[in-house]
């Protein structure tokens, strides 16, 4: 979705939201990741709805969750 209107703002909001949720919960699992991505999506859509200058903004979000077992 590169080059989308206000993409830099959408990317900033998405990364900040995901980071905040992981920091707040202290958990690293797929349910937290799913909640973080869904919350980021809602925030981006809400900003676009509330500000005509941001209408149509969007971003691509790629996230990887890695966990390892202790040996």
The residue extents of the domains of the chain are: 7-51
Which two tokens mark 1?
Answer: 């979705």
What pLDDT digit, counting tens, does each position of 10-20 carry? Answer: 999 999 999 99
d(CA 31, CA 41): 15
pTM (2 d.p.) = 0.85
Asked if 44 and 13 count as a contact pair (C-beta separation under 8 A), the reply is yes
Residues of the chain under the 50 pLDDT cut:
none
Q: Report the interhelical angle of 30-50 vs 7-25 (nearest 10°).
A: 140
């Amino acid at each position: 979705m590169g080059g989308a209107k206000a993409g830099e703002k959408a990317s900033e909001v998405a990364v900040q939201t995901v980071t905040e949720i992981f920091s707040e919960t202290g958990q690293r699992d797929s349910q937290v990741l799913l909640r973080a991505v869904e919350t980021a999506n809602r925030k981006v859509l809400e900003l676009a709805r509330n500000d005509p200058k941001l209408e149509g903004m969007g971003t691509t979000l790629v996230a990887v969750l890695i966990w390892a077992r202790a040996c």
